[in-house]
């Protein structure tokens, strides 16, 4: 289904980043506005190629982030560095990174609530899409282009 699967599978990693519970008292828009720039900055400090998607947890309306990153020479230290960067922040809670076994499956998972998140959040759920995983979809209002210029 996704042509990128064979091209990148051996060096692609999935990630999930949640927020600290103290941020849950904020509105979902505030959660997003406070954290999405910081997520981008931290990822840019570690790697060059990534896709970041915001998702709303439907049970409690909290923001969390999913994505894909590419390490050019993957190693266990990259994975540790990734976790350390996010764990060292007072904004972020649970952080997970794993090598992707099923690229298409992960893409489908992170896109599952894309339109719901956009409608509820009233913000673009796709923050950066350097993998161009949405090249076959209508993406009007889905991508936060200006974040790329701010960094």
- Tens of pLDDT, residue by residue over 86-105, are 887 889 999 999 988 898 89
What pTM does this model have? 0.80
Contact 123, 32 (CB under 8 A): yes
Q: What is the pLDDT of residues 43-96, one digit of tens each?
A: 888 776 888 999 998 788 899 999 998 876 666 777 788 888 888 788 999 999
Cα–Cα distance, 48 to 128 (Å, whole number): 11
Higher pLDDT, 57 or 129: 57
Is a pLDDT exceeding 50 seen at residue 131? yes
Q: What is the pLDDT of residue 64?
A: 94
Tell the CATH topology of 11-150.
Alpha-Beta Plaits (3.30.70)
Q: For residue 50, count other CB atoms closer than 10 A to its CB.
A: 22
Q: What is the pLDDT of residue 150?
A: 39
Q: What is the pLDDT of residue 7?
A: 44
Higher pLDDT, 25 or 143: 25
Cα–Cα distance, 10 to 21 (Å, whole number): 34
Is a pLDDT exceeding 70 seen at residue 149? no
Contact 80, 68 (CB under 8 A): no
Q: What is the pLDDT of residue 151?
A: 38
């Amino acid at each position: 289904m996704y042509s990128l699967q064979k091209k990148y599978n051996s060096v692609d990693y999935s990630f999930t980043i949640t927020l600290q519970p103290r941020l849950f008292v904020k509105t979902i828009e505030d959660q997003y506005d406070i954290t999405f720039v910081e997520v981008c900055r931290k990822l840019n400090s570690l790697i060059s190629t990534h896709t970041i998607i915001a998702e709303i947890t439907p049970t409690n309306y909290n923001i969390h982030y999913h994505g894909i990153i590419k390490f050019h020479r993957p190693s266990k230290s990259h994975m540790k560095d990734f976790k350390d960067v996010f764990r060292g922040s007072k904004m972020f809670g649970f952080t997970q990174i794993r090598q992707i076994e099923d690229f298409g499956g992960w893409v489908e998972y992170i896109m599952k609530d894309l339109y719901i998140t956009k409608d509820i959040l009233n913000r673009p759920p796709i923050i950066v899409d350097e993998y161009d995983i949405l090249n076959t979809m209508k993406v009007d209002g889905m991508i936060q282009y200006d974040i790329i210029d701010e960094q």
